[in-house]
Amino acid sequence: MSGGRTLDGEVVVSGAKNAALPMLAASILSAEPLRLGNLPDLRDVHTMLSLLRILGAVVDGAAPGSASVRLAEPKSFSAPYDLVRTMRASILVLGPLLGRFGRADVSLPGGCAIGARPIDMHVNALRSMGAEVEMRGGYISARSNGLRGARIDLPLPTVTGTENIMMAAVLADGDTVIENAAREPEVRDLADCLNAMGARISGAGESRIRISGVGQLRGAEREILPDRIEAGTYLVAGAMTGGRVALRFRGELALGEVLAALRNAGADVRRGEGFVELDMGGRRPRSVNVATAPWPGFPTDMQAQFTALNAIASGHALVRENVFEQRFMHVAELRRLGADIEPLGREVLIRGVRRLQGAPVMATDLRASASLVLAALVAEGETVIHRVYHMDRGYERIEDKFSGLGAEIRRV
């Protein structure tokens, strides 16, 4: 990549990875097909489709960007290690497999670059619904003769934990109440999908979710939400380069505190039905303090992007990561580009510099790699980013979309 261009153009926002993955897992709950539209062409989506095929699902992608998944006859109840280690979100098949078939063997997802990422809350919740869950040979082995509804108090509002519990509870005997549930838009979207399949879920999107078990679920047809993290990433790119970025999308795009942070950085942001437009008018961004939190707080998945913005902003900023214990892997790489960032434990102090210098850097995780692309857009000279496969997990056609905005970016 070569930096220095002012971005100006339009981007179509793809379907959200973190909405698509749980909804694909939800297809396990019915013998009838679940048809999903606006499905993003991402590595993680293909990984989840491969996993569903291993379990016995028949997948036919009617057209690019859509898929119909049907699990009539299970072939296996096991999510193998060599697949789970490439995608932690495979854990999302645990709840639906247990809920519909009473058995699941899911490889323990390893940690990843951003932390240990335990799944104790998933396991404890399923146990309280009557499942026998053991750790055996690196696998989570769960059995049940029929889950029963329970009241579940989550110590932390875990996103995939809430999703797993919801999917385990829809066919359980009786009512389940989840307290301190995750409130992310993707959680509400999953509940809407399950209700379209015949489930009875209320309160999704709030801290208390109630699920009344039903006998069985039917098929449904759904559109995937637009990806609010992809969208936020392109808006930050517009702000960092002093340019103008217009987003186009279908469905509801919940940007939450990201819009406020962009406006605090000095961007003009307009939004309407199906569009959001950021115009920086050639200005350098102002430093913006950020503290991540579960929704509706500032999303942790946007922290690395705002760390990059603050690296070239006018002033000083504190960026605090409250959700994951070590989500600052991008800091060392940004410093190689000349950023002035001082690690202070759970937060970093960033002193904005006028110019970054291009250099070879290494991507470590999905959102860290996005922050390196953002920094490379404004760094003088050439930046080569290694291990961009991290990027392909969550950003569809990233070089096409950035090229379309005027960036000099190519895959080597």
Counting contacts by CB under 6 A, is residue 18 touching ligand EPZ?
yes
- From the list 159-167, 336-344, 348-356, 376-384, the region that binds ligand EPZ by CB under 6 A is 159-167
- For ligand EPZ, the binding residue among 16, 48, 121, 165 (CB under 6 A) is 121
- Cα angle 11, 244, 309 (rounded to 5 degrees) comes to 95
Counting contacts by CB under 6 A, is residue 256 touching ligand EPZ?
no
Cα-based distances in Å from 110 to 24, 71, 80, 103, 371: 21, 27, 12, 21, 24
| Residue placing its CB nearer to ligand EPZ in the complex, 298 or 402 | 298
Residue 136, burial from CB neighbour count under 10 angstroms (0-12, 13-18, 19+): exposed
Counting contacts by CB under 6 A, is residue 185 touching ligand EPZ?
no
193 in active site: no
Using CA atoms, how far apart are residues 256 and 309, in angstroms rounded to an integer?
18
Question: Which residues in the 259-288 window bind ligand EPZ by CB under 6 A?
Answer: none
Question: Which residues in the 32-91 window bind ligand EPZ by CB under 6 A?
Answer: 89
* Shortest Å distance, C-beta 315 to ligand EPZ: 27
Counting contacts by CB under 6 A, is residue 21 touching ligand EPZ?
yes
- Residue 200 tokens, joined: 């009875």
Counting contacts by CB under 6 A, is residue 395 touching ligand EPZ?
no
| Residue placing its CB nearer to ligand EPZ in the complex, 3 or 232 | 232
Counting contacts by CB under 6 A, is residue 117 touching ligand EPZ?
yes
Lay out the site mask for ligand EPZ across 306-345 (x = CB under 6 A, - = otherwise).
-----------------xx---------------------
Counting contacts by CB under 6 A, is residue 118 touching ligand EPZ?
yes
- From the list 16-24, 129-137, 353-361, 401-409, the region that binds ligand EPZ by CB under 6 A is 16-24
Lay out the site mask for ligand EPZ across 355-384 (x = CB under 6 A, - = otherwise).
-----------xx-----------------
| Residue placing its CB nearer to ligand EPZ in the complex, 92 or 356 | 92
| Residue placing its CB nearer to ligand EPZ in the complex, 16 or 379 | 16
* Shortest Å distance, C-beta 160 to ligand EPZ: 3
What is the full DSSP assignment across 138-187? TEEEEE-SS-B--EEE-SS--HHHHHHHHHHHTTSBSEEEEES----HHH
Long-range contacts of 141-144 (CB under 8 A, 24+ apart): 141/104, 141/105, 142/94, 142/97, 142/98, 142/103, 142/104, 142/105, 142/106, 143/102, 143/103, 144/98, 144/102, 144/103
* DSSP code at position 354: S
| Residue placing its CB nearer to ligand EPZ in the complex, 367 or 401 | 367
User: Contact, 164 vs 106, CB < 8 A?
Assistant: no
- Cα angle 401, 404, 410 (rounded to 5 degrees) comes to 70
Counting contacts by CB under 6 A, is residue 180 touching ligand EPZ?
no
Closest CA to 271 of 217, 224, 230, 235: 235
* Shortest Å distance, C-beta 355 to ligand EPZ: 29
Catalytic residue among 54, 83, 108, 112: 112
| Residue placing its CB nearer to ligand EPZ in the complex, 324 or 402 | 324
Using CA atoms, how far apart are residues 305 and 392, in angstroms rounded to an integer?
16
Size of the site for ligand EPZ (CB under 6 A): 24
348: enclosing H helix or E strand? strand 347-351
| Residue placing its CB nearer to ligand EPZ in the complex, 280 or 323 | 323
- For ligand EPZ, the binding residue among 12, 58, 62, 156 (CB under 6 A) is 156
* Shortest Å distance, C-beta 99 to ligand EPZ: 18
Q: What is the largest CA-CA distance in the chain?
A: 63
Closest CA to 369 of 388, 384, 345: 388
Three-class SS state of 311 = helix
Main-chain dihedrals φ then ψ at residue 329, nearest 5 degrees = -65, -25
Catalytic residues: 112
Binding site for ligand EPZ (CB under 6 A): 17-18, 21, 89, 115, 117-122, 156, 158-161, 182, 300-301, 323-324, 366-367, 394
